[in-house]
Amino acid sequence: MGKITIAIDGYSSTGKSTIAKRLAAALNYIYVDTGAMYRAVTLFALNSGLVSDKGDVDVEALIDKLSGIHLKFVPNKKTGRSDMFLNDENVEQEIRSMRVSAFVSPVAAIKEVREKLVKIQQEMGKDKGIVMDGRDIGTVVFPDAELKLFMTASPETRAARRYKELLEKGEEVTYAEVLKNVEERDRIDSTRTISPLTKAKDAIEFDNSDMGLEEQFERIYDFSQRVI
């Protein structure tokens, strides 16, 4: 078989992007982090004053402004990865903040936001040779993907990983805040009406709670070699 499509879905902070990035590099495939796209739209909403002090997103106003949101992934020679650009501004750092994490799930539940981003994602993957991670890649974006993985790990394991990452970046957060955010995003993502986070029937479930990066990569690389 030639180039395939690899869909990696799962809960927040299951290490999807770390594995997806590494797999894409090993296979010489394109890597796309769809969470970054939902995060960039959320940052746009926050910066445009479309989120009230009470934390409500002005859905109508955001839908109205969607056509003015331009997203681009630009390779970064220093990191060897791609940075997310929102209307020509590099927002890679900002989109990973807790401020964005706190509002991304309600924004990602908006039908029009999903329609816009899914269309861009499908276009990016039309020639295959792609590893894409997110919540609905195996169910909605590429239901015919040749390899689908569904990553899970306990909420505590995931929150601990995320907490460490945020501390390393210098964010002032507590473990309890991170755990609450991880659980809240999982709840909203799994119960929303449109494209809820759910395992595709033909996806391989992969629990990495007690697994190091090396072992995860080897196993997942092996899955890919059985299909390619």
Binding region for ligand C5P (CB under 6 A): 12, 34-35, 38-39, 104-105, 108, 134-137, 185, 189
Q: What are phi and psi of 212, to 5 degrees?
A: -75, 170
Write out the H or E segment, with its range, that includes residue 32.
strand 30-33
Q: Is 82 annotated as a binding residue?
A: no
Q: Is 195 annotated as a binding residue?
A: no
Q: Length of the chain, please? A: 228
Nearer to ligand C5P, 84 or 220 (CB): 84
Nearer to ligand C5P, 76 or 228 (CB): 76
Nearer to ligand C5P, 92 or 189 (CB): 189
> Least Å distance between CB 162 and ligand C5P?
9
Q: Which amino acid is at 109?
A: A
Contact predicate 145/221, CB 8 Å: no
> Least Å distance between CB 225 and ligand C5P?
25
Q: What is the DSSP letter of 80?
A: T
Q: Is 18 annotated as a binding residue?
A: yes
Nearer to ligand C5P, 12 or 157 (CB): 12
> Least Å distance between CB 1 and ligand C5P?
25
Contact predicate 21/146, CB 8 Å: no
Q: Is 13 annotated as a binding residue?
A: yes
Burial of 108 (0-12, 13-18, 19+ CB in 10 A): buried
> Least Å distance between CB 218 and ligand C5P?
23
> Least Å distance between CB 146 and ligand C5P?
18
Nearer to ligand C5P, 190 or 228 (CB): 190
Instruction: Tell me the C-alpha to C-alpha distance, in Å, between residue 140 and each of 1, 12, 18, 197.
Output: 23, 18, 22, 10
Q: Is 204 left (phi over 0), alpha (psi -120 to 50) or beta?
A: beta
Q: Is 11 annotated as a binding residue?
A: yes
What token pair was written down for 28?
């010489």
Q: Is 191 annotated as a binding residue?
A: no
Please report where in the chains the tokens 């220093």 appear, as a residue.
78
Q: Which residues are annotated as a binding site?
A: 10-18
Q: Which residues are annotated as a binding site for ATP?
A: 10-18
